[in-house]
A = this chain, B = another copy of it.
Amino acid sequence: MAALNERRLVALLDARFRSAAPGVQLGIGDDAAVLAAGSEPWVCSVDACVQGVHFDLRFLTLADVGYRSFQAAISDLAAMGATPVAALSALVLPKALSAADIDQLTAGQADASRETACPIVGGNLSRGAELSVTTTVLGRASRPIPRSGARPGEELWLVGELGMAAAGLSALRLGRPRQAAAGVASEPSAALARCILAWRRPRALLAEGRALLGRASAVIDVSDGLLADAPRLSEQSRVRVIIERDRLRATLTGALRGAARELGRSALRLALSGGEDYALLATGPRALRPPGARRIGYVARGSGAFLADGSGRRPLRGGYDHLRR
C-alpha cells in the first residue's frame, strides 16, 4: 500500500465506514456529523489532543492544555453554525501525573466548558504512557452548514483572525523573543503577548458561526492553516477557491504585523500557513455577508485553491497533515 497521509486515510475510512443509515444526514469528512432529530438535527464531533503531538508542556500549563483541547473540539460545532449542548471528555493519564496536575488540567477544561455554555456530562478515565485529552462535542442547529455548499460566484469570507497562534508558538519556540531594543527586553512585547495568548487560549467562534446560519453556503474552521483548509473547502464543494492576497493582507491584525516584525517572519505567510487559530472560512452571496465577516476572495468554477496577486495565481499547497509527524 502507498504511504499513509491523512487524506488517503480519511478516504479509506470513509469507504470502510460509509453506510446509508437513514438518520445520518452528514457523515465522515465534514467538520462534524449531522444526525436527524425532528426539526433540529444533532451535530457531533470528536477531537484528540495528544502530548508530544498536539502540545508541548514546555510552552503550556496543564490548564492551557485542558482549555485549548476543549475549544479545539467545539470549534467544529462553530463551523456548522451549531449551538453546543454537551461534551464528553476521555482522559488518558500517565502515572506521573499527580492529583494536583489533574486538578489543573480539568480546571482548564471546566473554564472552556463554562465559557462556551457546554457542560461536560460524561467521559472516560484510563491509564496510558502519553497524556491525551479526547473531547466529544454535541450540539444542535436548525440547518447545519456543511463544507460542501459553496457555489461559483459567491464571495469567500474570513471570520476571525489568522496567523496569531502561529506567531505565538513561534515566539515560544525561539525562547526569548527578539526585541527591537536588543539587550533590554525579557518580557515579550504587547504584540507577541497577544499572539502567545491566542495560541495558548484560543476561542471557538460559536456566536460568529451561528451568525452564518441562513447566510453562508459552506463553512470550515481553519484549524490546520489556510493552506490546508482552503483546499478542503474547494474539494468538498467541487469549486475553485481564490484568495486575493491584498484582501487577505488587509485582514491581518496590528498584533500579527508587530509580532511578525519582531520574529523576522512574514505576517502574510504566518496567516497562510499557521494553524490553531480556529477562524472560520466561509462562502456565501455578497448580499448575505454578515457584519463580522470580511471578504478575502471568491468562488469560481473549477477546482483547487489559489492565492491571487497582481502577477497571477499560485496554488495553495501544504498545511498540517495529522499523520505526517
Residues of A within 8 A of B (CB): 1-2, 4, 6, 8-10, 12-13, 16-17, 19, 21, 23-24, 26-28, 30, 32-33, 35, 37-38, 42, 44-48, 50, 52-54, 85-86, 88-90, 92-93, 98-100, 102-103, 106-107, 109-110, 113-114, 117, 119-130, 132, 134, 136, 138, 322-325
30 A-B pairs whose Cβ atoms sit less than 8 Å apart in the complex: A4-B99, A10-B125, A13-B89, A16-B103, A17-B106, A17-B110, A19-B114, A23-B86, A28-B121, A33-B86, A33-B121, A35-B138, A37-B38, A44-B121, A45-B122, A46-B88, A46-B124, A47-B90, A48-B124, A48-B126, A52-B128, A52-B129, A53-B126, A90-B134, A93-B323, A125-B322, A125-B323, A127-B325, A128-B132, A129-B129
Chain B residues with CB under 8 A of A125: 6, 9-10, 13, 322-323
Given A12-B102, A121-B28, do A21 and B86 touch, yes or no (CB 8 Å)?
yes
Pairs A-B, 10 closest by C-beta atoms: A1-B99, A33-B121, A33-B122, A19-B119, A17-B120, A21-B119, A136-B136, A46-B88, A50-B128, A27-B121
- Which residue of B is nearest A32, CB measured? B122
In the complex the two chains form, what is the Cα distance from A325 to B92 in whole Å?
12
A69 shortest CB reach to chain B, Å: 12
Q: Which of B33, B92, B323 contacts A132 (CB 8 A)?
A: B92
CB distance from A24 to the nearest CB of B (A): 5
Contacts of A44 in B (CB 8 A): 86, 88, 121-122, 136, 138
Minimum distance in angstroms from A184 CB to a CB of chain B: 40
**Complex alpha-carbon distance, A120 and B99, angstroms:** 35
B-chain residues with CB within 8 Å of residue A117 when the two chains form the complex: 21
Q: What would 16 more interface pairs be, CB under 8 Å, given A10-B125, A19-B120, A45-B122?
A: A1-B98, A13-B125, A17-B109, A21-B117, A21-B121, A27-B121, A32-B122, A33-B122, A44-B136, A46-B88, A46-B136, A48-B92, A50-B126, A90-B134, A125-B322, A138-B138
